[in-house]
Amino acid sequence: MDIVRAFRIVSIAEAVSFLVLLLIAMPLKYMADAPVGVQVMGPLHGVLFLAYVGMVFFVRENLRWSVGRTVLALGAGVLPVAPFLVEHFWARPSEAPARA
């Protein structure tokens, strides 16, 4: 599998896990006294977040990202929907690198 394609998949998975954690698991924990959602989604999201951060460093050269774009992509990992935007706008296949 191409590294850029793998990054796109990890990016989407990280963003979805973050949204599920915030919008489903956390309300269930605090409103319905059901902490199992956070117990499952928390570690899963943590692993996906670490994979996302690691993948940013693997794809930055392939996608010809500047240092600024790399820092923005790393910062996007801490915002709930930003990895969707990174995947959609900045993670182009290696045949057609994204513009800086």
Query: Given this model, what pLDDT does residue 33 score?
Result: 94
Query: Given this model, what pLDDT does residue 91 score?
Result: 87
pTM for the full model? Answer: 0.85
Query: Given this model, what pLDDT does residue 69 score?
Result: 94
Q: Can you tell me the distance from the alpha carbon of 18 to that of 25, in angstroms, rounded to the nearest whole number?
A: 10
Query: Given this model, what pLDDT does residue 29 score?
Result: 95
Query: Given this model, what pLDDT does residue 60 score?
Result: 94
Per-residue pLDDT of the chain (100 residues; tens, 9 = 90+): 699 999 999 999 999 999 999 999 999 999 999 999 999 999 999 999 999 999 999 999 999 999 999 999 999 999 989 999 999 899 876 455 555 5
Query: Given this model, what pLDDT does residue 99 score?
Result: 57
Three-point CA angle 66, 91, 76, nearest 5°: 70
Give backbone dihedrals phi and psi of 59, rounded to 5 degrees, phi first. Answer: -95, -15
